[in-house]
Structure 1
């Protein structure tokens, strides 16, 4: 039985979620149809532009993305702290960028006086809109509805464009977040449609590297990306969650790793999973793997099969079981994968 989305996504448990959506009717989200020769590559830009526009409106940051031929992946972070700071006028202003809003809200923004009944209605609307602005479900609804309408209009057809509801995975800790981001960023390399991070079009890692090169005037080669990036500040589109190793403790304000360490790990992992780079796994292990104590084989298995290793939850096994119990379920998939990714967790 399908679980309600509000049970699958809980910002109080974790702000990080992996979401996937796929096309139906063998439709092309992007890519080229070899039967007709028609190209749909421009649709990749639709997705990327829309997620950035929505991120600027919603209290939701983008950790990673990859837009593939008939599906896309997002790793999103709910910015709970930003949501708490929104004033009523900011809530109305943001929500009215998505919908027409309400006449009472428009009058309030114009400084018109409201009677008691209108004020009560406005308070209810603001509360509802405030909750929606930190909702991944509403973020995905706004994204998918627009892309579906544009694609159907272009294809001159009607009907469903997406394969039912989007799939989501809760990422309960740093290891799960790191493995999932790596899985998403390496999608084109794993699929054999790109042979380097720089050529992985329409991925967050390509955009992050490009921003780093442009702002800091450096060259990141496939052979030595990390040495070039060391001690360089990361400047990226404001829609992106920032890498900040200081968030290992207390309040979570970003991705809890240094970008240089992430870049070192993804470069090493990308080479190791390529068919033409056999044996690279035996070279120097990245710093993050040593810090987290994750075995090389377990890490590479996660980078290749993260989506299939778990169902809707990834993290320490005891935390996964507790989250599932909170949802009203009794069983979840991924115990062996979780134990491999968290070698120091208590045995369950």
Structure 2
């Protein structure tokens, strides 16, 4: 049974979500279709560019993404503090980057004198847009509508390109976030589309590795790693990039050791800090798409009121 989006996405429960969108009618987002003997590889760039462009306008950060043949994965962070800091003019500029605004708002941006009633109405419109700039549903809508339109135009056809709704999973704690990010980044390796993360085209892990090679702090438009939780914690993913890459590499070797070589006996520090043992971590990464929420049981129970739910129905990770 389809669940209301309000029971799947709640800022009060968690700012982190894993989303998946899949094609219908045997459509290929990208990749090579053996049946039609046609390559759609160029569409990978379509979705990557659109996703990164939307992230610049929205106050929703991209933690991880991977673009596959007929679906894509993305791990998102809703940045409520960022949207609160934006001025009305900044809100309008961001929203109008992808929409046509009403004449009233255009007059406001031009500095025209507005009546009290017009000013009040303009403020109401801007506050609606402020809420939409932290809406995953709006971001996914603008992403999928654009790709569907471009693909249908190229295929010279009409009709649905995507499944009716994207799938979303609430990531209620650090364990769930790390598991979902590793799962997403490992998709091309697990599908035998790439042998190493360095060759996993159109993924966040490749973008981060490329940035490291250039001695950059973080990949452009990706949510940065802020390091282990501490006082005066900066905005970012709550663990270190190098810990994540070590965890990612270790997990990839366990799941696809035939592609990645021998198992590395060095246990990464992130795995140790999060309290996973090898068996539990591997179990998590192989069934990450089950359920609508991912978390330890204690975090699941605590989040039920915020998600307007009464029963536990997500993927439960070990508390320790």
RMSD: 1.9
Tell me the secondary structure at the aligned position of residue 65 of structure 1: strand
Q: Does the CA contact (< 8 Å) of 1:189 and 1:196 recur in 2?
A: yes
Q: Does the CA contact (< 8 Å) of 2:16 and 2:75 recur in 1?
A: yes
Following the alignment from structure 2 to structure 1, what is the Cα–Cα distance between the partners of residues 199 and 151? 26
1:234 and 2:214 matched? no
Aligned to 1:230: none
Following the alignment from structure 2 to structure 1, what is the Cα–Cα distance between the partners of residues 162 and 274? 37
Following the alignment from structure 1 to structure 2, what is the Cα–Cα distance between the partners of residues 279 and 199? 15
Following the alignment from structure 1 to structure 2, what is the Cα–Cα distance between the partners of residues 249 and 67? 36
Superposition pairs of residues 158-169 of structure 1, within 5 angstroms: 158-169=158-169
Q: Does the CA contact (< 8 Å) of 1:248 and 1:256 recur in 2?
A: no
1:312 and 2:312 matched? no
Following the alignment from structure 1 to structure 2, what is the Cα–Cα distance between the partners of residues 277 and 96? 45
1:256 and 2:256 matched? no
Q: Does the CA contact (< 8 Å) of 2:226 and 2:233 recur in 1?
A: no
Tell me the secondary structure at the aligned position of residue 24 of structure 2: coil
Following the alignment from structure 1 to structure 2, what is the Cα–Cα distance between the partners of residues 112 and 316? 54
Tell me the secondary structure at the aligned position of residue 315 of structure 1: strand
Aligned to 2:254: 272
Following the alignment from structure 1 to structure 2, what is the Cα–Cα distance between the partners of residues 279 and 153? 43
Following the alignment from structure 2 to structure 1, what is the Cα–Cα distance between the partners of residues 6 and 231? 27
Q: Does the CA contact (< 8 Å) of 1:234 and 1:259 recur in 2?
A: no
TM-score (norm 1): 0.87
Structure 1: gaps of 5 or more residues:
217-232, 344-348
Query: 1:53, CA displacement in angstroms?
Result: 0.3
Tell me the secondary structure at the aligned position of residue 29 of structure 1: coil
Tell me the secondary structure at the aligned position of residue 243 of structure 2: helix
1:302 and 2:281 matched? no
Aligned to 1:155: 155
Aligned to 2:212: 212
1:31 and 2:31 matched? yes
Aligned to 1:333: 313
Aligned to 2:11: 11
1:283 and 2:262 matched? no
Which deviations, in whole Å up to 9, do the C-alpha atoms of 1:56-75 show, x marking residues without a partner?
00001100000000000000
Following the alignment from structure 2 to structure 1, what is the Cα–Cα distance between the partners of residues 259 and 146? 41
TM-score (norm 2): 0.94
* Higher relative contact order structure (alpha carbons within 8 Å, sequence separation ≥ 6): 2
Following the alignment from structure 2 to structure 1, what is the Cα–Cα distance between the partners of residues 135 and 111? 29
Following the alignment from structure 2 to structure 1, what is the Cα–Cα distance between the partners of residues 230 and 184? 22
Following the alignment from structure 1 to structure 2, what is the Cα–Cα distance between the partners of residues 132 and 47? 21
Q: Does the CA contact (< 8 Å) of 1:281 and 1:296 recur in 2?
A: no
